[in-house]
Amino acid sequence: MKLIILDRDGVINHDSEAFIKSPAEWIPIKGSLEAIARLNQAGYRVVVATNQSGVGRGLFDMMMLNAIHQKMHNAAQQVGADIDAVFFCPHAADDNCDCRKPKPGMFNEISRRFGISLRGGVITVGDSLRDLQAGFVAGCAPYLVLTGKGEKTLEKGGLPPGTLVYPDLAGVVDFILKAPVEVSV
């Protein structure tokens, strides 16, 4: 099974310092959903792993989070993309849970649910250090995108060994699928 694990905010959709609190605030990054469709066409199962501490902080409830994810699924389906599953941590940072990235709990759960080792080939794509750390500790190959918080993450440094950096999710997918590079003359 070919599996890829994506962060949500800053990778698939535009991020907000004030949190994405409603479906109206969930706006896809140009080309991200089409990139997921290309992954699907190449046989990849696409899973989202996202911290959603806004639930734990009382900024929005589970019903609203489900509505946001439904909008994401609907938008993906409109371009022929399929997101197999969304794993999320609803806890605030001070809850000290095992599922909140940078801890690898969500990734370990994905491994169990899909019956696949994350070591040796599973890619994780994120825009923050904690995304990459969680995936790396679980055995994933880390890919940083410069959308969302990505540029600031790159500037701060301290990325896991072997982290590859791309402008956006579409760039990651071009690399993964080894799409030919178009040269304008």
**CB 25, CB 69: distance < 8 Å:** no
Q: Which of 134, 183, 167, 130 is nearest to 35 (CA)?
A: 167
The residue assigned the tokens 């500790």 is: 137
**Is residue 7 annotated as a catalytic residue, yes or no?**
yes
Both tokens assigned to 63 = 């019903």
**How big, in percent rounded to 5, are the helix, strand and coil portions of the chain?**
40, 20, 45
Both tokens assigned to 83 = 């997101």
Which of 9, 127, 168, 174 is flagged as catalytic?
A: 9
The residue assigned the tokens 């959308």 is: 147
**Is residue 61 annotated as a catalytic residue, yes or no?**
no
Half-sphere exposure of 36 (CA within 13 A, CB side): 30
Transcribe 104-120 into DSSP letters.
SHHHHHHHHHHT---TT
Both tokens assigned to 46 = 């696409």
Residues serving a catalytic function are: 7, 9
